[in-house]
Amino acid sequence: MTTFVTKIIIMFSTGQLVFAVLFFIAFVIVITFSYRKDVAIHNRFYKGNYKVLIAFLLFVVLLFVIKVVMKR
């Protein structure tokens, strides 16, 4: 095992680790069911959201390019 995993095992008790794993599994299941239930609403109200995401990513890339150009 790596030192990181060894430190985590030493830091937490077995019960705490079991609880964390079970909580994570339950959380993922609940989030999945909630998303599937609301997918029709998301499709109706958030249509075209990908355009905003693309614009945001282009803005971040533009800032990075400006930073690189200004540094030279």
pLDDT tens per residue, range 25-35: 999 999 999 98
What are the Cα distances from residue 21, in Å, to 16, 18, 30, 36, 52?
Answer: 9, 5, 14, 23, 35
Task: Give the mean model confidence (pLDDT) for residues 63-70.
Answer: 94
The number of distinct structural domains making up the chain is 1
Question: How far is it, in rounded angstroms, from Cα 31 to Cα 66?
Answer: 39
Predicted structure pTM score: 0.53
Domain hosting 17: range is: 3-71
Q: Is 9 in contact with 17 (CB distance < 8 Å)?
A: yes
8: its two tokens: 């985590």
Task: Look up tokens 């990908």; give the residue.
Answer: 50
Q: Is 29 in contact with 22 (CB distance < 8 Å)?
A: no
Q: Residue 22 has what pLDDT?
A: 98
Q: Residue 60 has what pLDDT?
A: 97
Task: Give the mean model confidence (pLDDT) for residues 16-20.
Answer: 93
